[in-house]
Amino acid sequence: MLLSYKYRIEPNRSQTAALAEMLADFCGLYNAGLQQRIEAYRRRGVSVTYNMQAAELKAVREAAPELARWSFSAEQQCLRRLDKTYKAFFRRRYGFPRFRASARYHAAEFRVGNGLTIRKSGRLGFVGIDGEIKVCWHRNLPSDPNSAILTRQCGKWYVVFHVEVEPVPSRTNNGESVGIDFGIRHLATLSTGEPIARPNWTKRAKREIRRRQRALARCKRGSNTRAKRPAALARLHERIANKRRDHLHKVSRDLVRRFGWIAIERLNVKELLSQPYMARDISDASWGQLAAMLAYKAENAGCEFIAVDPQATSQTCPGCMAVSEKKLSRRIHRCPCGGVLDRDVAAAMVVHHRAFNFWPGAGHGALSETDASKLAPEAVCFS
């Protein structure tokens, strides 16, 4: 499996300026390639492909000395990036590629050993950048990387290495199983009845976000202060995102360590975000990010990870499997069969059953209808 390892790099002042120039030149190459595709189709009806543009790249470098000083393979990646956006546009039929501003072009792809090298000193070397750049190696790479991405985030520079890792033998026979229901009141609820708290980082920082946004709005356009305020606001949002990501990493790691069989709902988060009264809380919970972390960590740990159809999981009784509509404000599940328990726990139990075809705590085998009917009267309310 392919994993990404992210490290902070610390270039000096001249290296920082050179890296910024490199990204600006790559942005210009991207925009030139986009302009060529648009004009070729508008004037002559010709669809320009990546191979056509890559064949002209050598002549372009000879005509533009500012491009000749950078890595040839990295500039090829710029053209591949443009080609990916075109293919994505034709696949989804909306979102035509747009010209990029150099201030918003923050990443470049490299091949390790061709454009970017890891020196024996542990520092990085880039083609066209003088000297070596210090790297904060907070953890070791499991193997030699094949590719890397240089990225700039809020004035800080990072490098992301792509590393191929050998799959771990499955340990599902030794681990317990769990169903997970994502929510807003709690980040997630397990089929064991355990809720996982949602810190709600955005709500905690709401007052500071409002203060910095108002300070930005009061600034005169074109002033020096106006140029500083967006960076201060971006740093605050970065801090919030780092706290959220750190919490999700800890939660996902703990779940993978405890359970060998993990089941979640296959949610369409993008569609859920279209609901205005829930969009902010759903974005702050980051269900999609947590699901992605669980997926790759489970694979790396040899766990079984399954995403099930989310339809009516919160409307289904885990005791008799009857479906009854419930409003979102109704937090306790009550069924005529006698089942009374927390709504989120009931949904997590249904997710567990859909994934593994047995109820939590019943072992790796399907329950009979008689055994399933006994589950609800013994259930406990976790509210």
User: Amino acid identity, residue 128?
Assistant: G
Q: Report whether 4 contacts 161 (CB < 8 A).
A: yes
In terms of residues, how long is the chain?
383
Active-site entry in 25, 75, 109, 265: 265
Q: Is 281 a catalytic residue?
A: no
The DSSP string of 182-224 is E-SSSSEEETTS-EE----HHHHTHHHHHHHHHHHHHSPTTSH
Task: Name the one residue in this structure whose structure tokens are 């150099």.
Answer: 102
The DSSP string of 12-36 is -HHHHHHHHHHHHHHHHHHHHHHHH
User: Amino acid identity, residue 279?
Assistant: A
Angle of helix 206-218 relative to helix 224-258, nearest 10 degrees, comes to: 160
- Number of CB atoms found within 10 A of residue 127's CB: 16
- Distance CA(229)–CA(201), nearest Å, equals 21
* Contacts with 2 (C-beta within 8 Å, 6 or more apart), sequence order: 162, 163, 164, 165
- Distance CA(336)–CA(367), nearest Å, equals 21
Active-site entry in 25, 83, 181, 342: 181
As given in the structure block, the two tokens for residue 284 are 């702050």
- Distance CA(343)–CA(383), nearest Å, equals 9
- Three-state SS at 362: coil
Q: Is 344 a catalytic residue?
A: yes
As given in the structure block, the two tokens for residue 81 are 């990036």
- Three-state SS at 255: helix
- Distance CA(264)–CA(3), nearest Å, equals 22
Q: Is 194 a catalytic residue?
A: no
- Distance CA(381)–CA(31), nearest Å, equals 59
**Residues catalogued as catalytic:** 181, 265, 344
